[in-house]
Every structure is written in C-alpha cells, then in structure tokens.
Structure 1
Amino acid sequence: MIRYGSDHIEEMKFSSLHMSIECRDHQWIDITLKPQLTTDSATVPKDLTDFTILVICNHGGIIAQMVPQDIGCDCEYQLTFLEKEQIKSFILSEAVQQQIKQAAAQM
C-alpha cells in the first residue's frame, strides 16, 4: 500500500480474499473484500483499524474502481499495481463472475 503523499511502498500479498456482494442499483455492484495476507507479505498499516477493499463493478463484472477502506470509509492509502492485479485476478475468476451475475439477476 502507498500512503498518499509518501514515496514509501509496502507490498501486500493476499493468501485469500473473503467477499460479500451487494447490488447497489441497476448499474453497479459493490464487492467488499476482507484480505488475509501471506506470511511473507507486508502487514496492513498499523493506523488502519478494520481494513477492507471496496471493488465496484458493473453488472457485467467489469471492474470500475478499487478503493482501500478503513471501517467502511475511504482511507489515506492507495493500492499498488501488484495489489490491484491480485484483486483483479480474483474478481475475474469464473466463480466470482458467476456470483456477480447471480447478484445482478436478483435486481
């Protein structure tokens, strides 16, 4: 993660991502991810209390935005390129894409 205004980068590696999906409206689906880190990963910054990642997708499963959050609100960190790639790979997996389609169909 990168703190806004800092040039110091800490790379987190996710061993798993626990997810909840909520259909916001007829266009957007909110996916909240609670990451578990690998043993060789950088740690979550100590000033974050309840770190999650909000991924906003359209009903077709296309990612529009990835937002690191603390206690459900935007925080002063941004994800690195490699962290985003891990999340993208997870969201684009067949199992997650199927769950997105199911959530969209319930709208």
Structure 2
Amino acid sequence: MMKYDSDYYSEIQFINMKAEVEFREDGQWIDIFIGFEVAPNTPLSDEMKELSALLICNAAGHIVQWVVLDAGCDSEYQFTPDEKAQLTAFAEGLDLQRQFT
C-alpha cells in the first residue's frame, strides 16, 4: 500500500478473498467489492480500520480502476503493482461474463 503524498509503503499479502459483484444499470460498468484478510506478519498502517478493495471493470470485464476502501469508503491509499496483481488474479477467476448473462 502506498499513501498519497507520503513516504509510507508496504506490500500486503491478501488471503481468504471473497467477492461481491454488482452490475450497474447502465450496463457499462461492473463493480467488484473484494473483502479479504491480511496475511500474518504483513505490515499494515495503523490508520486502516477495515481494509477492502473495489475493482471497477468495463462491460467486457477488464479492470480500469483499483480503489482502496477503508470501512467501505475510498481512502488516501493506493495499491502497489504487486497488490493489484493479486486482486486482478482473483477477479479473473470470477468469470464475469457468465454472471452477466
């Protein structure tokens, strides 16, 4: 995780991920809310209360934005490339197109 306008940086390993998928009414966007646990011995900022992720995808299921959520609200943190890769790999296993039909 990286905090905007700060030197704070840590790499988080996500475990026990679970997803909730919402298809927006306009048909253009798919929201994937991902809850997870943080692996033991993974550094996490004391500021974070309830960490989760929102992945915003286009109608084809391609991720266009990764959002760090804290207690369900966007935060001043962003995911590192490795964290995005973990979330992307998980989301790709959801088979969004099958759910879309």
Q: Same fold (TM over 0.5)?
A: yes
Q: CA deviation at 1:59?
A: 2.5
Name 1:71's counterpart in structure 2: 71
- Counterparts of 2:99 and 2:57, CA distance in 1: 11
- What residue is the counterpart of 2:59 in the other structure? 59
1:13 is aligned to: 13
Q: If the length of structure 1 is used for normalisation, what is the TM-score?
A: 0.83
Partners of 1:23 and 1:103 within 8 A in 2? no
Find the aligned partners of 2:50 and 2:71 in 1 and give their Cα distance: 5
- Note the residue ranges of structure 2 that are not aligned, 5 or more in a row: none
Asked if structure 2 preserves the Cα contact closer than 8 Å seen for 1:29 and 1:104, the reply is: no
1:104 corresponds in structure 2 to 100
Identity over the aligned pairs, expressed in percent? 33
Residue number in structure 2 paired with 1:48 = 48
Give the partner amino acid of 2:82: L
- Look up the equivalent residue of 1:12 and give its one-letter code: I
User: Which AA in structure 2 matches 1:101?
Assistant: Q
1:29 and 1:70 map into 2 onto residues whose CA distance is 20
* Superposition TM-score, scaled by structure 2 size: 0.87
Task: Identify the structure with the greater helix proportion.
Answer: 1
Deviation at 1:67, TM superposition (A): 0.2
